[in-house]
Structure 1
Amino acid sequence: MTAHMQRILQSASEIAIEAAISQKISAEVIQFRPRQPQKEVGVETAPTAIEVYATSLIAENDNTPGTEQPIAPVIGSSVVIERALLTRAVEIVNNVIERRNSIPILSNIALRGNGNTLQLIGTDLDIEIVASVPGAADREFGTTLPAHILKDLLKRATASDFVAMTTGETRDALDFERVHYDLQSLSLADWPHMSGPAAGAFEFHLPGRALWEGLDSTMGAISTEETRYYLNGIFLHTIEHADGAKLVMVATDGHRLYRQEFDAPFGSCGMPAVIVPRKTVQLLHKLMKGKSCPDDVAIVVDSSKIRISFGDIITTSKLIDGTFPDYQRVIPIHNNKRATLHAETAMEAIRAVTLISTERGRACKYTFAPGNCRLTVSNPDSGNASADIPCDYDGEPMEIGFNASYMLAIIEDAVGNGSSVSMQLYDAASPAVITGDRKGWTGVCMPMRV
């Protein structure tokens, strides 16, 4: 181990010992004090990563008048972090950082020490993501480093359990125990901090699994057409129902529409109707997938920004400034023919008959009759394909065409963890309403001429 690394580790040990001696000291890492703290009866607890960030990272983001500025970065300050934790945080923050930027500092990750926490921040000016990791970090530590270079070093450099960083004039030192790097840095003073939702914004909580499933079941219909920018996201709003208020997510690309409803959580009623951008939706969907899904998610939203916090991650995003169309008018209410299919059987048949088609749209004709649904695809160059599947149908025989790719995606989203899907139909020229075993989910698909 180098002498430089030993000095840093010694400094880190002193910080850790001091923090362990007095809980009061660990509380002092918060750079901002509450405006008028009130005395409370009970045991004082150490701040969470989110509380530390909300009170000490950026005065703008706190949105509370009278807060103090954080300690200015000092050259020569250092931090020692467990490599695995730092690698995970860097990978999370890298999700919003583009490899090529016309503004150099946007290619960097901002790092700020907080005594017992290191905060990593990335932004593209529309989204800001903050990940906090525990470690021995000088409160005067602050810098920005090239995001993708830092990620590569953490993943590929010589094996080490800890990483030490020390700030310099224009280059910062990184020590991986046996390997030393000097990285070009940019001043934290030039970092473009993003303010959060305004004071008085709506605050509520959702179960992490419910939020992820809502995003997962609606994001497939988000439009990618830039001319209709107001469709490039998920429309989030609350509505009143006979059985209580509902929090609703809606997405549409003009060919299909997905809607997911939840019971409105406390604090969400009356919130402004907002459009969450596609990139933000994709980021949250990725961060919350699988074992990473948190038990609880805190949401703060106003008319221009949304902040979503869970675990040690805080995401702040601008919202799309536009008016989402009145989607309620698109959902038919007079479809009186119902067909119920086994989801897996239907998807298997759709995939099979569309093998003969080379067209991008791949229109598939559905012929419904009592007890049966026949799927047919015609290709003038290759021939025809058809498949019969069992169907519980209660109307007059009819034919209707749908885009095969859209129908596959709709059935998969509608069924959730269940096994059946229902289609409500009217005639060959009217959109179909699709529902499945996924609670609160509704899909609408426009027909095609076949």
Structure 2
Amino acid sequence: MKVTLERNHLLKSLGHVHRVVERRNTYPILANVLLRAADGALELRATDLDIEVTESVPAMVSGAGTTTVPAHTLYEITRKLADGAEVRLETDGADQVLLTSGRSRFHLACLSPDSFPDLKSGSFSHSFSIPATTLRELIERTQFAISNEETRYYLNGIYMHALDVGGEARLRAVATDGHRLARAEAPAPEGIAGMPGIIVPKKTVGEVQKLLDGAEGDIAVEVSDTKIRFTLGPVVLLSKLIEGTFPDYERVTPKNNDKEMQVDRATFATAVDRVSTIASDRGGKAVKLSLSDGQLELSVTNPDHGTANEELAVAFEQDRFEIGFNARYLLDIVGQIRSDNVVFLFNDAGSPTLVKEEGEASALYVLMPMRV
């Protein structure tokens, strides 16, 4: 193999593929990136056996070939080369790759590409294109609620499915950790009808989000019962799906919460953040909301540090009502609200609370209360 390409092209591509490579690997080959030079392009591929990212970059190929080199090492070397520099990669014997750029020379140990795993995609039952901005919005508005609890592995991702809402086909994304639930939706793209509900793993969600950062145009999505593939320009990300049944989130989404509070989003978030400063981690960072006609009192009690109180003007026309929440969960949800005011719909102090934007919102959130 003998290939020459621009440092910036190589760095951008490595930035996409090297992130899926774990720092510690049971199998040495998984620490490497596959390099395949042919037909005026260098293809780079990396995998952790659950996700596989492939990208091709234009290159001057004077000798076709395939090899593998340590992914993070190659990325760090390329990152530290001069901007706009020319990079040459060539196999130097059976077990080394020579990288040269200007006066810099690196001999990198390589492993045989024959043992590099191939995450075979199989056939896909559904394929569609969706605007990158729409998919990014669905991810951003739900990913914070993904669970990290390994025992309930089916919550370790975003559940995506197609449904009919008032005669309109919609694509909905849902995530929950049992304490809060985030739900966002968008018009369903053509080709999604009949798609089974899928759970996209948290790591895949993060990689797709980085891929979509600043992206315009459409991203192609293909889905089967076990895998999902995203294609954006020259980058292809293939991932396994989480096999399991996502819980019936509609069952825990409140339908009859009739106590409505509207409050300025920014003012509320700042006040919650302020009073929660003295909240105890041991107590779950609990903040108490005490509501009366036109007024909200936020309060925190910490036996070790004291108390904090703050009053806000709100739109609330019910009898006195009190409820407690985990301050961090509350701030996470309020941080997703895009309107000037945030709307809370309560039932009682022990029931889930619905949080949404003013008017018809494409996203809504459910938050479980705490005893305070």
Normalising by the smaller structure, the TM-score range is: over 0.9
- What's the counterpart of residue 270 of structure 1? 194
Question: Contact 1:158 / 1:178 at 8 angstroms: preserved in 2?
Answer: no
Paired residue for 1:390, among 300, 313, 332?
Answer: 313
Question: Contact 2:7 / 2:83 at 8 angstroms: preserved in 1?
Answer: no
- The alignment status of 1:444 with 2:366, answered yes or no, reads yes
- What's the counterpart of residue 256 of structure 1? 180
Paired residue for 1:287, among 194, 197, 211?
Answer: 211
| Ranges in structure 2 where 5+ consecutive residues have no aligned partner | none
- What's the counterpart of residue 311 of structure 1? 233
The 1-side partners of 2:344 and 2:22 are apart by 42
Question: Contact 1:297 / 1:310 at 8 angstroms: preserved in 2?
Answer: yes
- What's the counterpart of residue 117 of structure 2? 192
Paired residue for 2:103, among 168, 178, 189?
Answer: 178
How many corresponding residue pairs? 369
Larger relative helix fraction:
1
- What's the counterpart of residue 425 of structure 1? 346
Question: Contact 2:288 / 2:325 at 8 angstroms: preserved in 1?
Answer: yes
Deviation at 1:396, TM superposition (A): 2.3
Q: How does 1:54-93 map to 2 (within 5 A)?
A: 77-93=1-17
Q: Deviations over 1:287-346 (max 9, x none)?
A: 222x3x232111000110000111221110000011111110000101111111111000
Question: Contact 2:356 / 2:364 at 8 angstroms: preserved in 1?
Answer: yes
Deviation at 1:160, TM superposition (A): 6.5
The 2-side partners of 1:156 and 1:396 are apart by 64
- What's the counterpart of residue 335 of structure 1? 257
The 1-side partners of 2:207 and 2:331 are apart by 24
Question: Contact 1:79 / 1:141 at 8 angstroms: preserved in 2?
Answer: no
Q: How does 1:352-431 map to 2 (within 5 A)?
A: 352-360=274-282, 361-413=284-336, 415-416=337-338, 418-431=339-352
In our comparison, the structure showing a higher alpha carbon Rg is: 1
| Ranges in structure 1 where 5+ consecutive residues have no aligned partner | 1-76
Deviation at 1:116, TM superposition (A): 1.9
Deviation at 1:270, TM superposition (A): 0.6
Deviation at 1:286, TM superposition (A): 2.1
Question: Contact 1:160 / 1:176 at 8 angstroms: preserved in 2?
Answer: no
Deviation at 1:139, TM superposition (A): 7.1
- The alignment status of 1:234 with 2:158, answered yes or no, reads yes
The 2-side partners of 1:207 and 1:182 are apart by 42
Question: Contact 1:230 / 1:323 at 8 angstroms: preserved in 2?
Answer: yes
Deviation at 1:158, TM superposition (A): 6.4
Question: Contact 1:115 / 1:139 at 8 angstroms: preserved in 2?
Answer: no
The 1-side partners of 2:144 and 2:205 are apart by 11
The 1-side partners of 2:304 and 2:180 are apart by 29
The 2-side partners of 1:154 and 1:248 are apart by 40
The 2-side partners of 1:201 and 1:120 are apart by 27
In structure 1, what residue type is equivalent to 2:177?
D
Question: Contact 1:337 / 1:424 at 8 angstroms: preserved in 2?
Answer: yes
Deviation at 1:159, TM superposition (A): 6.8
Question: Contact 1:159 / 1:176 at 8 angstroms: preserved in 2?
Answer: no
In structure 2, what residue type is equivalent to 1:257?
L
The 2-side partners of 1:154 and 1:231 are apart by 37
In structure 1, what residue type is equivalent to 2:98?
A
**CA distance 1:185–1:200, shift in 2 (3 Å):** closer
Q: How does 1:44-55 map to 2 (within 5 A)?
A: none
**CA distance 1:150–1:429, shift in 2 (3 Å):** same
**CA distance 1:362–1:159, shift in 2 (3 Å):** closer
Larger relative strand fraction:
2
The 1-side partners of 2:317 and 2:223 are apart by 45
Q: How does 1:149-164 map to 2 (within 5 A)?
A: 149-157=73-81, 161-164=85-88
Q: Deviations over 1:114-152 (max 9, x none)?
A: 312211111000000112211112573211111111112
State the TM-score, normalized to the length of structure 2: 0.95
State the TM-score, normalized to the length of structure 1: 0.79
Q: Deviations over 1:375-409 (max 9, x none)?
A: 11111222211111121113222111111110001
The 2-side partners of 1:280 and 1:95 are apart by 11
Paired residue for 2:52, among 105, 109, 128?
Answer: 128
* Structure 1 residue matching 2:35: 3-state secondary structure: strand
Question: Contact 2:261 / 2:316 at 8 angstroms: preserved in 1?
Answer: yes
* Structure 2 residue matching 1:329: 3-state secondary structure: helix
Question: Contact 1:129 / 1:316 at 8 angstroms: preserved in 2?
Answer: yes
The 2-side partners of 1:158 and 1:301 are apart by 40
Q: Which moved more, 1:438-447 or 1:268-277?
A: 438-447
Q: Deviations over 1:217-240 (max 9, x none)?
A: 101100000000010000011111
The 2-side partners of 1:370 and 1:195 are apart by 61
The 1-side partners of 2:7 and 2:106 are apart by 15
Q: Deviations over 1:142-178 (max 9, x none)?
A: 1111111111211224677111111231112211132
Aligned CA RMSD, in angstroms, stands at 1.5
* Structure 1 residue matching 2:191: 3-state secondary structure: coil
- What's the counterpart of residue 247 of structure 2? 325
- The alignment status of 1:346 with 2:271, answered yes or no, reads no
**CA distance 1:313–1:439, shift in 2 (3 Å):** farther
